[in-house]
Structure 1
C-alpha cells in the first residue's frame, strides 16, 4: 500500500509509542481531528494499525503495549466499566482482583464499599484498596513486574488456598471463537487459578479487547458469569455470549 507522507508518519508514531490519541496527532500535524480520523480509518482498513475510540494503537500478538500506554488508553470507558462492576459487588464480599489497568479502575470504584476482603496479585490494586480501614487486603507473593503485577508459581499456589465470592478480572484479548488471551504464561497461570477458585467470575473488557490477538490461551468466555463492557459487541460476539450463557452488562 502506498501511503501519504502524513499517514506514514502517523504509522511510525503509533509503532514507536504503542498508542497515540487523536488529539495528540491532530496537534502534532496541525490538522483537524476529523482529518486524523480519516487517516486512521484508512490505515486500520489496511490492517496497519488498530483503531480505538479516541486514538490508534499498534497491536502485537507476542508483546503487550507498555503499561504507561495502557493506563492512558480508553480511560473514560474503563471508569464506566469499573463503576458498573462495582455496582454488582455487595458489601462484605470476598474478591480476587488480577493484573490490569481496568482492574485498577475497579479498585478505585470499590472504595465506597464496606468490609471487603480482597486477594490480589496487583500491587497497584493493593495500594488503592489498603487505604480503607475496614478492607482486608492480601497480596500474593511471587516475582514483581515493572507494571506492579505479581506472577509465578508461588503466586498461583497462594491463590489456590482460597475460595472467594467474586473474581474481578481483566484480559488482554478475546478471540473470535471466545478464547480469552493474554501475553505472559506466568500471568495466565495465576488468572487460571483465580477463575477456578471463585464462585462467580466478572470479566471487565473494553471494546478494544474484542478480536485482539495475544499468544497465550487463558480460558474461554464459557467460564465467565458476567461480561462488562462499554458498548454493544458485534453480532458474532453477541451470539457467543448467548451460547455460553454469559450475562452482558453495557456500562
Structure 2
C-alpha cells in the first residue's frame, strides 16, 4: 500500500469488479485522497488534507456503520474523549441514546451534536478554533485534555502507513490527539478503508498503541499482521 497498485490487484483484494474499482479510484482521486495513474493508483501528496465539506460526504454510509459498531462497544456511564474528524462526529451521533456519559471533546461539531441531550455531560476543551472544520487545537487544548483520565479515547486519523504508523496533517491537532491517547484507559480508532496506506506528514503514533480498530473493510495483510502482533482488536462493520 506504500506505492503504485494495479487496478486488478485492488479489485481482487476488495472482491469487486475492475469497473467498480475504477469508479472508486476516480472518486478518491477527485477528493485528493489518491493519485490516479494508467492502470492503477498511487498515494496522494502528504501535505494537505481534503476539504472538510468533502470529507463529510466521502464514505458517509461507511462512517455511519463504523460509528454504530463502535457505539455498541461503549457501555453506559462511561467517560470518553472524542477528537476531531468526520468519522468521530458520526460516533457522537451514534452515542446520543446512551445513558449517563461524560464526554470531553476538542471538536465543536461533536459539541453541537451532543448539546441538548440530558443524559450526556459535555465538556469542551479551550484553545484555537480551526475555522475550516470546528476543531479546537493548540497547546491549550492539549493541556486541558491532560487534566483528565477517561475510560475511552475515540480518535480518527488521516492515514495509516504500511508499518502501522498513524499519520495526520496538522501538528497542532496531533498534540491534542496524542494527549487523548496518553490519558485514556482504552483507545478506539475509527477509520474507513481509504485511510489504509494514505500519506500524511505528521506522526501521531503507532497502531500498537490502539486497543481496537473500527473500520468498514479488512486492512491490508501487512497491517493485519501488525495488529495481530500488537493484540489490537479488529472490528469490521458489516454492510
1:140 is the counterpart of 2:129: no
- 1:94-153 deviation digits (Å, cap 9, x = unpaired): 000000000000000001101100000000001111221121100000000120100000
Which residue of the other structure, out of 49, 56, 70, is the alignment partner of 1:71? 56
Which residue of the other structure, out of 165, 168, 178, is the alignment partner of 1:179? 165
Q: Return 132-141 or 94-103, whichever deviates more.
A: 132-141
CA contact (8 A) 1:59 1:65 kept: no
**Change in CA separation of 1:228 and 1:38 when aligned onto 2, cut-off 3 Å:** closer
Q: Return 59-68 or 156-165, whichever deviates more.
A: 59-68
Inter-partner Cα distance in structure 1 for 2:93 and 2:170: 25
* Aligned residue runs from structure 1 range 1-251, under 5 A: 37=23, 40=26, 48-49=35-36, 59-146=44-131, 147-251=133-237
Bigger Rg, structure 1 or 2: 1
Other structure's SS at 1:202 match: strand
- 1:16-42 deviation digits (Å, cap 9, x = unpaired): xxxxxxxxxxxxxxxxx869639849x
CA contact (8 A) 1:204 1:227 kept: yes
| CA RMSD, Structure 1 to Structure 2 (Å) | 2.4
**Change in CA separation of 1:38 and 1:172 when aligned onto 2, cut-off 3 Å:** closer
Give the TM-score normalised by the residue count of structure 2: 0.83
Inter-partner Cα distance in structure 2 for 1:39 and 1:175: 19
Q: Which runs of 5 or more structure 1 residues have no equivalent in the other structure? A: 1-32, 51-55
Q: Which runs of 5 or more structure 2 residues have no equivalent in the other structure? A: 1-18
